[in-house]
Amino acid sequence: MNAHEIDYEIHGEEMQYVEIELDPQEGVVAESGSFMMMDTGIKMDTIFGDGSGQSEGILGKIFSAGKRILTGESLFMTVFQNIGQGKKKISFAAPYPGKIIPIDLTKYGGKFVCQKDAFLCAAKGVQVGVEFSRKLGRGLFGGEGFIMQKLEGDGLSFLHVGGTVARKELKVGELLKIDTGCLVGFTKEVKYDIEFVGGIRNTVFGGEGLFFATLQGPGVVYVQSLPFSRLAGRIIQSIPRQGGKSKGEGSILGGLGDILDGDNRF
């Protein structure tokens, strides 16, 4: 194996964290800000990109970091390596309520495509790259833009999803329609595209967006019940406006409530 072989345990229910056990000289690479705690004897280093191009000289490092700029992530990642004697443990926490799911790349042909902010950490040696959309419509309206992340290699990776996760195994030709924000990731065999919802009433009043994400098997697809954008939208709605009043849940009823309360400022 090119990637380090690591052991792990996931703790918690709604706010999970993953505890990874490292043998001497084993390492794990993680997004900045996901670290929770670790044993003495683990060394932390900040590196360009995912570290997969470190042996290729300065150009390899620059290319690795450049891929992360395209996905909107930080130039740097953090690698933690056990430099002590015996096994050491390190933990990484989920950024918001949801589930942490392990992805064994050896079971998925060495590649898994996921949304840009789903990656949490992985065994050192896993390559965190970019997956470009080859279709204009998918890039403009697919929810994830032209660029998604791809995880390549033969090690373990960990993704974080919002709310509850659903794992769907699609047969050959089987089609699944998903809200674009609820898509977490899929295996390399899955064909990913978008589809217009259709219908004037659906488009104007449906409230579910203009497009579905369509995924066609064979392959495995992961779906989340609570995208962060949806969670953030709910939080924004509940933030009090000037004067101490919060926004109404619906534009009509919310506005009517403001009028009845004597607040006619829209």
Give pLDDT tens digits for 123-180.
998 988 888 765 544 445 444 545 788 899 999 999 999 999 999 999 999 999 998 8
More confident residue, 82 or 134: 82
Amino acid of residue 194:
I
**Residue 173: predicted pLDDT:** 94
The closest alpha carbon to 250, from 219, 217, 213, 205, belongs to: 205
CA distance between the termini of the chain: 61
* Other beta carbons less than 10 A from residue 8's beta carbon: 18
Residue with tokens 């064994």: 104
In angstroms, the CA 70 to CA 180 distance is: 20
**Residue 246: predicted pLDDT:** 52
**Residue 149: predicted pLDDT:** 86
How far does Cα 39 stand from its chain's mean position? 27
The answer to which of 83-97, 145-159, 182-196, 211-225 has the lowest mean pLDDT is 145-159
**Averaged pLDDT for residues 186-206:** 71
Residues 6+ apart with CB under 8 A from 238: 246, 247
More confident residue, 19 or 236: 19
* Position 250 pLDDT exceeds 60: no
The closest alpha carbon to 161, from 100, 210, 211, belongs to: 100
pTM over cut 0.85: no
Please state which CATH number belongs to domain 7-55+72-238. 3.60.160.10
Question: Where are the alpha helices (H) located in 81-218, listed in sequence order?
Answer: 136-141, 200-205
More confident residue, 67 or 118: 118
Q: What percent of the chain has pLDDT over 70?
A: 69
* Other beta carbons less than 10 A from residue 246's beta carbon: 11
- pLDDT band for 16, please (50, 70, 90 cuts): very high
In angstroms, the CA 126 to CA 20 distance is: 15
* Other beta carbons less than 10 A from residue 39's beta carbon: 15
Q: Kindly state the tokens that stand for 182.
A: 């609820």
Q: What is the DSSP string of 126-143?
A: -EEEEEE-S-HHHHHHSS
Q: Report the b/e string of 123-149 with b at 16+ CB within 10 A.
A: bbbbbbbbbebeeeebeebbbbbbbbb
* Position 225 pLDDT exceeds 80: yes
**Averaged pLDDT for residues 214-243:** 83
Pairing of strands 111-114, 98-104: unpaired
How far is CA 32 from each of CA 64, 79, 117, 128, 249, rounded to the nearest angstrom?
Answer: 16, 10, 12, 14, 35
**Averaged pLDDT for residues 206-221:** 79
**Averaged pLDDT for residues 215-232:** 89
**Residue 216: predicted pLDDT:** 94
CB 205 within 8 A of CB 237: no
